[in-house]
Homo-oligomer: A and B are copies of this chain.
Amino acid sequence: MVIPEFSHSGVYAAALTPLKPDLSADHAGLLGHCRWLLDNGCDGLAVLGTTGEANSFSGSERMSMLEALIEGGVPGDALLPGTGCASIIDTVELTRHALGLGITSVLMLPPFYYKGVGDEGLFAAYSEIIERVGDDRLRVYLYHFPQMSAVPLGFDLIERLIENYPGIIAGMKDSSGDFANMSGAARRFPGFAVFSGSDEFLLDILNVGGAGCITAVCNVASGLAAQTLTAWRDGDGRADDLQRQLSAVRKAINAFPLVAALKEIMARQSGDKDWRNIRPPLMALNDAEAAELFNRLAQTGYCLPDVIGDTP
């Protein structure tokens, strides 16, 4: 089986951002983690999204991180950075900066401070951003995550955006956890690349013509997700079993605050306690939570990867 032709597709990690003890971004650590992910099953990386704590960083911090990745040799076309801010002015600045680095595809939250603004306001916001960026190379992946942004992106809005900005509106990461929504979008909008934000729907979204998955859990299970995708492509019958294990890993981790749980796993597997650093308002797991996390993971039978996040 094959994925339809999209500008991005396959297995993407919503990459974690390693931090130094003073909570500043660890550029070398981020570069190492991203290289490791690309070497271990990821087709691309959604850096600086919700899992990457993007909205806990200033604009200049975000731009510096992207520069470090490009300077470190990560290909621009493997990156799908988050650029959506509360202010459309900031979104334009980050998006232009990414384009300047040769990164043409971005994952774009709607402006997320004002709630209940309606489709007119959201259309105006995305229009204003696209017009101000003013670059035909731009590919926008809409970021639908109502539980976190509290600003959902409905089908009427998506349709209007696709009609007005064909080519530029390229796809969506759907982190709603609602398969009816993501499959509905994949069916309704041909050529529009729908990524599931939930590991458990990787095969399901592929089966309805979706693009793949972009998930937090892929920070520690990208190999398993890639095996699942490959088995589906090859039609070799193992795909469902692999998907079941991937879903079990997701369920075990998702019982805890997700970013903290993943950073805890990275700290344990890499032996680098700095992986536990996290920016408020997010908090690291406490010892009891960490113990329970590893209990639950052990019950899935999944073998966590040994060496992750080594700096280059």
Q: List residues of chain A with CB under 8 Å of any chain B CB.
A: 23, 50, 55-59, 61, 85-90, 93, 110-115, 117-118, 120-122, 124-125, 127-128, 147-151, 279-283
In the complex, the answer to whether A283 meets B120 with C-beta atoms within 8 Å is: yes
User: Which of B23, B59, B61, B125 interacts with A280 by CB under 8 Å?
Assistant: B125
Complex copy number for this chain = 2
Residues of chain B lying within 8 A (CB to CB) of residue A90:
58
Which of A50, A85, A93 has the largest number of chain B CB atoms within 10 A? Answer: A85
Q: A56-B114, A112-B112, A124-B283 are in contact. List 16 more A-B contacts (CB 8 A).
A: A55-B86, A55-B113, A56-B113, A58-B87, A88-B280, A111-B280, A112-B113, A115-B147, A117-B283, A118-B283, A121-B281, A121-B283, A124-B281, A125-B281, A150-B150, A151-B281
A15 vs chain B, min Cβ distance (A):
17
User: Which of B55, B93, B114 interacts with A281 by CB under 8 Å?
Assistant: B114
Given contact pairs A86-B86, A280-B125, A281-B121, A148 touches B115 in the complex (Cβ within 8 A)? yes
Which of A93, A112, A151 has the largest number of chain B CB atoms within 10 A? Answer: A112
Q: How long is the Cα–Cα vector from A149 to B56 in the complex, in angstroms? A: 15
In the complex, the answer to whether A61 meets B88 with C-beta atoms within 8 Å is: no
Residues of chain B lying within 8 A (CB to CB) of residue A85:
86
In the complex, the answer to whether A88 meets B279 with C-beta atoms within 8 Å is: yes
In the complex, the answer to whether B121 meets A55 with C-beta atoms within 8 Å is: no
Q: How long is the Cα–Cα vector from A85 to B151 in the complex, in angstroms? A: 17
A293 vs chain B, min Cβ distance (A):
17
In the complex, the answer to whether B115 meets A150 with C-beta atoms within 8 Å is: yes
Residues of chain B lying within 8 A (CB to CB) of residue A282:
114, 117, 121
Residues of chain B lying within 8 A (CB to CB) of residue A280:
88, 111, 121-122, 124-125, 127-128
In the complex, the answer to whether A281 meets B111 with C-beta atoms within 8 Å is: yes
Q: How long is the Cα–Cα vector from A140 to B133 in the complex, in angstroms? A: 36
